[in-house]
Amino acid sequence: MNAIAKTQEKALTDWFEQNQWAAMRGIDEPTWNALCSTIYPGAKSDSILMAIDYCKARKLDIMLKPVHLVPMQVKDAQSGQKAWRDVPMPGIGMYRIQASRSGDEAGHDEPEFGPTIKREFDGTDWEKNAIKVAVSYPEWCKYTVYKVVGERVVAYTAKEFWLENYAPQSAKVDAPNAMWKKRPFAQLAKCTEAQALRKGWPEIGQQPTAEEMEGKHIEMDMGSAQRHENPKEAAQFDPEMAKRWMDQIVKAGTTTALADIWKSAVADARKAGDMAAYNQIKAAVEKRSGELKAAEPEIIEGETA
């Protein structure tokens, strides 16, 4: 193996060790960097992993960002304490993709808007001073999608009112937030389209889209069910797989045989997405490697890394 190949292999091994949870999901370094810096900038690693799992379960390409990470204030029913967490939430794009994939989508109409209302709301300025905020918004929006049902094309129409959907600046004032003030028609159109898609294709889910929850104060009660602070606590563990590899590791008589077993075990654990088994196998390899190094001083350094 030449120097370049050795450097590349070491770089891959180092990245895998430092980003095990992403690597176990089949995410390589360039993709992970793009997710962290461009798709979900500023999001925690655990939150991005949740988005990856969310998309994988629905067979969606995460690089298209069909799911958003929405900050929510979560209340623990046992302790009563509140904490902010990122919650995966579908975007309107995800509903469009799923409707298109169904094979029975038959188009849609352009959004229809009701009369434009002009009104002043109580709000605050940048210094939190009370002010009046003038806003023009559509009273309502109507959106129709079409679906092939048997030999017929059926229309599914949703009608949503702006006052029932807009997000205020805060819980203390009525004025809409910056997005709903700047794009009152477009925001309401997205909310109405999402409702129409849910009516036509209920199998895509009934969860509100990120666009519908834009800027809204959300509080979730975690209830008394078992909870996981991050994906690592919910890791799978296959004791049979771990035992099968550890038996081979113990029987390995040479460093070459151990290295081959290690590579196969890693591939097996990665395919299963079983990080717990991987960690147990890794510990067994490190132990056996130490025993072999003591017996074979000439062992090549880093062979089982």
CA distance 7 to 222: 47
Of 204, 162, 169, 205, give the one whose Cα is nearest residue 187: 162
What's the chain's length in residues? 305
CA distance 153 to 135: 39
pLDDT for the residue 236: 54
pLDDT digit string, tens, across residues 180-228: 999 999 999 999 999 999 999 998 878 888 888 876 655 555 443 333 3
Residue 272 pLDDT more than 60? yes
CA distance 159 to 236: 44
Residue 247 pLDDT more than 80? yes
Percentage of the chain lying above the pLDDT 70 cut = 79
pLDDT digit string, tens, across residues 71-118: 776 666 667 777 777 888 898 999 999 999 999 999 999 999 999 999
Residue 24's Cα: distance from chain center in Å? 16
Domain chopping of the chain, boundaries: 93-209, 235-295
pLDDT for the residue 217: 56
Percentage of the chain lying above the pLDDT 90 cut = 31
User: What mean pLDDT comes out for the span 111-136?
Assistant: 89
Tokens of 150: 């048997």
User: What mean pLDDT comes out for the span 164-175?
Assistant: 86
Name the residue with tokens 């999901």.
25
CA distance 68 to 71: 10
Of 167, 204, 170, 205, give the one whose Cα is nearest residue 188: 167
pLDDT for the residue 17: 75
Confidence at 26, pLDDT banded by 50, 70, 90: confident
Q: How much is the CA Rg of the chain, to the nearest whole Å?
A: 26
Confidence at 119, pLDDT banded by 50, 70, 90: very high
Pairing status of strand 219-221 against strand 67-75? parallel
User: What mean pLDDT comes out for the span 128-139?
Assistant: 90
Mean pLDDT score across all residues of the chain: 80
pLDDT for the residue 156: 96
Report the range of poorest mean pLDDT among 56-70, 102-116, 143-157, 270-284: 270-284
pLDDT for the residue 230: 39
Highest mean pLDDT among 43-47, 113-117, 228-232: 113-117
- Whether the full predicted model's pTM is greater than 0.85, yes or no, is no
